[in-house]
């Protein structure tokens, strides 16, 4: 490992705690999403509001990351990478919120199996994102990060498969075109949340490639 890096790294007390806050927040959001897809229609609005509250919390963390970046001269790794990681974590939050919002807005009362399956994959993805992000501060065990990235990629492949099959089933078994569009929109937001987990993995991989 780069010596200069190992020298500065332990001293950073600004960025790593913020990244960890952001990734913990994603785990909470993913947990609420999974409650939402299992909940009675009556509890959905409340859960959706809670997800929105966490999304705002995430926005503030992202903002703090950018603010620190503008005030800090020596950063633990490239400023661009800090910016990219902050914004990639924020994107996951946006799509979890977007998916839950669509379920509510479009009155998707019947939560289908693919919706539940994708929500579970999002939990897996956020757990691996969190695991990798927490390892970033010491980089002693890079394997932890690369393993998480591999699992995130495989999770995203599964999500693609679930999405494709679900849409094919809509064409085969759903005759109301309006419903096809609605469900496709919800499934697509969920699938995009897993894409955003993959984007985080890509940023992490490119950070590792440079510094490790």
- The footprint of a second copy (CB under 8 A) covers 66, 69-70, 79-80, 83, 87, 101-102, 105-107, 164-165, 167-168, 171, 175, 177-178, 180-182, 184-185, 202, 205-206, 208-210, 212
Least Cβ distance, residue 7 to a second copy (angstroms) = 19
Min dist CB 127 to a second copy, Å, is 22
Under a CB-based contact definition with an 8 Å cutoff, are residues 51 and 129 in contact?
no
- Decide whether 40 or 172 has the Cβ nearer to a second copy: 172
Nearest C-alpha neighbor of 185 from the set 90, 124, 104, 117: 104
Helices 177-211 and 113-135: crossing angle in degrees, nearest 10, is 10
| Shortest distance (Å) from residue 79 CB to a second copy | 5
Rounded Cα distance between 119 and 197, Å, is: 13
**31/205 with CB nearer a second copy:** 205
8 vs 106 by CB, closer to a second copy: 106
For residue 202, with 0-12 CB atoms within 10 Å meaning exposed, 13-18 middle and 19 or more buried, which class applies? middle
**C-alpha angle with apex 190: 90 to 44, nearest 5 degrees?**
95
Q: Which of 93, 90, 68 is nearest to 15 (CA)?
A: 68
Minimum CB distance to a second copy, residue 142 (Å)? 9
Choose between 80 and 113: whose C-beta lies nearer to a second copy.
80
User: 24 vs 206, which CB is nearer to a second copy?
Assistant: 206
Angstrom CA distances, 98 to 92, 94, 124, 187, 193, stand at 10, 6, 18, 11, 9
C-beta of 63: minimal distance to a second copy in Å? 9
Residue 123 makes CB contacts below 8 A (sequence gap 6+) with 27, 30, 31, 33, 34
Whose Cβ is closer to a second copy: residue 18's or residue 208's? 208
Q: How far is the CB of 53 from a second copy (least distance, A)?
A: 15
């Amino acid at each position: 490992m780069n010596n200069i890096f190992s020298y500065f790294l332990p001293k950073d007390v600004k960025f790593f705690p913020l990244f960890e806050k952001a990734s913990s927040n994603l785990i909470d959001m993913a947990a609420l999403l999974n409650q939402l897809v299992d909940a009675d229609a009556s509890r959905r609005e409340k859960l959706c509001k809670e997800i929105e509250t966490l999304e705002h919390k995430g926005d503030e963390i992202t903002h703090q990351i950018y603010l620190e970046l503008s005030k800090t001269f020596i950063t633990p790794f490239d400023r661009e990478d800090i910016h990219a990681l902050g914004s990639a974590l924020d994107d996951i939050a946006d799509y979890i919120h977007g998916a839950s919002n669509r379920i509510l807005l479009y009155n998707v009362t019947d939560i289908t199996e693919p919706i539940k399956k994708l929500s579970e994959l999002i939990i897996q993805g956020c757990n691996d994102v969190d695991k990798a992000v927490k390892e970033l501060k010491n980089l002693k065990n890079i394997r932890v990060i690369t393993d998480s990235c591999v699992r995130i990629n495989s999770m995203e492949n599964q999500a693609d498969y679930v999405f494709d099959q679900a849409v094919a089933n809509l064409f085969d078994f759903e005759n109301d075109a309006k419903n096809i569009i609605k469900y496709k929109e919800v499934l697509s937001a969920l699938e995009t949340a897993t894409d955003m987990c993959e984007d985080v993995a890509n940023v992490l991989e490119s950070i590792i490639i440079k510094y490790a």
